[in-house]
Structures are given as structure tokens and as C-alpha cells.
Structure 1
Amino acid sequence: MRLDDIDFLIIGATKSATTWLQKSLQADPTVSMPDPELHYFSREFARGDDWYLAQFPPDADVLVAGEKSNSYLEKPEAAERIARKVPNAKLVVQLRDPVERAYSDYCMLYRRGEVSSDIERYLDPTRSPNTRPISAGLYHRQLHAYFDLFPAERILVTFYEAVTARPEEQFARVSNFLGLPRGEPPSCHLLRSKVKDKSVPMLNPTMRRLLRPLKPVIAPLRETPSFRRVHAAIAKEISYPPFPDSLRQRLIDHYEPDVELLGRLLGRDLSHWLRRSAV
């Protein structure tokens, strides 16, 4: 495989159903995608092209090959590297209301035990505007570099909200953009269900944080019956810190200039992101 064989990249954003899109594409036998996020053009560039290409499953019968790494949207250096290494690749960007995305990202980090229950510490832009949950939602700041380096016809921007309402239609849009054959979407159950459900029982964040150093030891045991029994006995649905209306409004105010610029860039009215009522 060569770099010229990379036909597309799903570049983000985090918590915008990009894993749903990846798994739906992987169910199509004409598509070749590695399972993990490689983060090559963002975090792992020093590993070199040979390492990157070796991550793709060998299959001579596929029509298109690509990968998903949400960090490509968040890391400014990724756009230039992608344009230099795979200049003919098509780019798929999936975006989500930045306020809801920030809270969803915080919840994911919370259940991993990577953040505390002090939600204001991580989501209040007047205190910490550069935390990951906040900065990852500045889509115009992130996207304009790609529009500077790639023709607009090679960038497809889709939206999480449309995925949840009309998944088959959204999958068809991506398939057409990538030049895949028309037909029934593969594995329709993937298109109608969430890939990652935050209501699934898990170990509480404190326990996950304490057990993190033991992860290499525990990992090989995860599929054993004894591990599953122990996990089922102690795992519970996690209760997440609530999202206060006042904090939501501060985030809306923070994102408003970027959302307006993004709307102009895409030629789309995104003002509903700024007046959305609390849920």
C-alpha cells in the first residue's frame, strides 16, 4: 500500500458520531479502514509513513481506503501534513452543536476518571478557555486551515444532529461523496444505534482512576468469564454532574463568534446552536 492509496480521512469532531460513521463504513466490504484511530498526522507523525501504511488491513479488492482520527481537526499541524502527504484525499468532517459536544466530551472524560466532578473547572470558558472540552468545539478556527489547503469539493461537512434524525440519509451522503456503490446501507443496526452509550454500566470514575496503572495487566483478562462476572457485580450506571443553565449560557456566549464565522464559511445558518434551550 502507498500513500496515494489513501482515498479519504474522517477528521472529526470528537463526540460527533464519527465512530458510528467509521463502523458503518467498515461494514461495507468495499471499504478498507483500520480499527483504531491512528492519529498519524497529529500525534504519531514521527513514526513515519511505513508505520502508518502498515496499519491498514491488506485487501486488494477494496474500492476505497481511509481512516478516522478526530485529532486531525483539533491539531493545527495536521492539516499541512495531510495536504503534503495525501493531497488527493477526500475529507469528511462531522460536527455537533459545540455546547452539547463540550458537555458530552466532559462526560466521557469523567467516566474515564480523567476529570473531577467540578464541571465548572472544565467547562467554564471564563475560567479555563483552553480545556479540551472547550477548545475542541472551535470549528471555524480548526476548519479554515483545511479550506485553505484543499478544494471545497473535496471536503464534506456533515452534522451529528442529522445523523441522529436521519442516519440512513447521512450515510448515503458520505457513501456518494466517497464514490461507493449505491444500495442498501450495510448493517443497518449500526445506523440506528449508538456505538458508545454513556448509560452502559461501568466502574465508577474513582475506581477507574485507581486501576489505570494496572491496565496492561487487566487487559488480557477482559474477555474471560471470571472478569465479566466481577465487572458485572461492581459496574453501575454512572451519574454525571448536571449541566447548569448558567454554564450553558457562558459556553454559548464563548462559541458565538466562531459559530458565526463557521456559518459564513459553510454558507449555512447555524444560529440554532446559539439559541438552543437547555435539555
Structure 2
Amino acid sequence: MKWKRDTGLSGRIFFTWILLLFVYLVFMGVLIALGLPSVFIIVIAVGMGLVQYFFSDKLVLMTTGARIIENDEYPELHRTVENLCSIAQIPKPRIAIMQSPMPNAFATGRSPNHAVVAVTDSIMATLNRNELEAVLAHELAHVKNRDILTMTVAGFLAMIASMIMNNFLFASIFNREQGGAWIIAGIVAAVVWVIATLLMMALSRYREFAADRGAAYITEDPDALISALQKISGKMDRVPVQTRAAAEGANAFYIIPAISGKSLAALFSTHPALEKRIENLEKVREEIRGY
């Protein structure tokens, strides 16, 4: 396998962790300054951090409704993943299936030794063997690049900030003594949400390019991934809006985002444009062929 270490991705992951740590500490400091119990905030922060690290894969699976399958279920899918892992030189992850009309796939987990690759039943019906292999290779490239945990932590921070944003007005109205403090907390939460979302966008878009390149290196067939991305994107437009809206919370993990057009997900896209991804894969094709 021809594999290049992506220093651009490694640098972005490191930089994102530094910024996330800074934002996390500032966020906690503001909440403590507003009078919330410091011990309570620290315990919650540490507890949530441990939960994210050790149970991030289970949280994503629960959110998406994916089910881990055993080796005797979908044996062809297991064989394909095992062969790709042998080429990519990574441990075989657990495999999960989602029952959904939305053709999609994702990878989750804190490390290559604790990873899960999930696909929907509809993507297996939509793609041919080579295309499905290319999609699986894309997800395994995420595992090899070790970029999944960073996205999970950034997404969790944005989720917490969003929860405070959504409740600060209610708290400020019904808690007159500390109403001003809750308004300040809501404003800070809004700033944290924007920063965390922007960090996710910047990292996620680049990591999708990196995973596309990685899939092409693993399979040596970038055209199969180009065809798969076009098929998935084309069919996604025919998926009911309600189904796409329900799946938007996990967009950062999917190979193609589920955008309903009725939320901020349409503005804060976690993926580069399909045309850009195809251009990227065409360059890899030329590289593989030695042009």
C-alpha cells in the first residue's frame, strides 16, 4: 500500500486540541465566576471527559441507532473489512449496521484498537462491490489517521454550549436574583458554540480530504470512491427531509452529510463540496498512475 503520513492533518489535530483545551478552561472559568459551584463544574467536566474518551463509540452508536454485528452476520462485509485492514495495517474494528433509507457510513472510537465502522443497509443496496469497498476504506482511513476522537470532543463541547444557549433565557426569567449571570453565561455559551463549531468545520473538511486520499491509497482505485460519492450524494437528495434532519447531529462522522436545509447544518457544513472531493481524488489518481 502506498501511504503518506498527512502532516497537515496531524498539525490540525494538535492545534484543534490546544484550542479546545483553552476554550474548555475559559468556559469553565466563566461559569465559576458567575457563581456556579466550582467543585460541581470540575467534577462534571472531568466525568464528561472520561465518558467521552471511554464511551465515545457507544454514544455515537446509540445516537445513530447502529447495531454491532457478529462475525456470522453479513460475512461478506466482515471479509471485505478484514482484507482492507490487512492492507491498511490496522486492527479490524467492530462492524455495525444501521437500518436507514439514507445511504451512509461512519467510523467512531478513541483509537484503532477501539474503533467501530458502521454502514446503513441502504448503502449496501445502493453501491456495487468496488464502491462499497472504497467507502469502507474511507472510514478505515479515518481510523488510521486517528482523527475521530478529536471530532467527538469538539462536538461534545459544542453540544454543551448549545444546551446552555437554549436554556439561558428560561433561567434568566425564572431566576431573578441571578438572571443577569445567566444572560452572561448564555452569551459566553454562544461564543463557545461558534468557536467549537468552526474548529469542527475546519478539521472535519480537511480530514475528509485526507480520508478520501487514504481510501484511494488503500484500494488503489480512486474512481470507485468517486462513483460511490456521486451515488450517495444523488440518492441523499431523495431521502425524506425528516430523516435527514434527524441524522444531522452526527453529520461530522458521515461520509456524506445529511443536510435537511432547515437548520444551521446547511451553513456550518462539516464536509467539503463534492466537486472539491472529486478534484482531490483525481489528483490522487494521477499520483497513483505516476503522471
**TM-score of the two chains, using structure 2 as the length reference:** 0.28
Higher relative contact order (CA 8 A, sep 6+): 1
**TM-score of the two chains, using structure 1 as the length reference:** 0.29
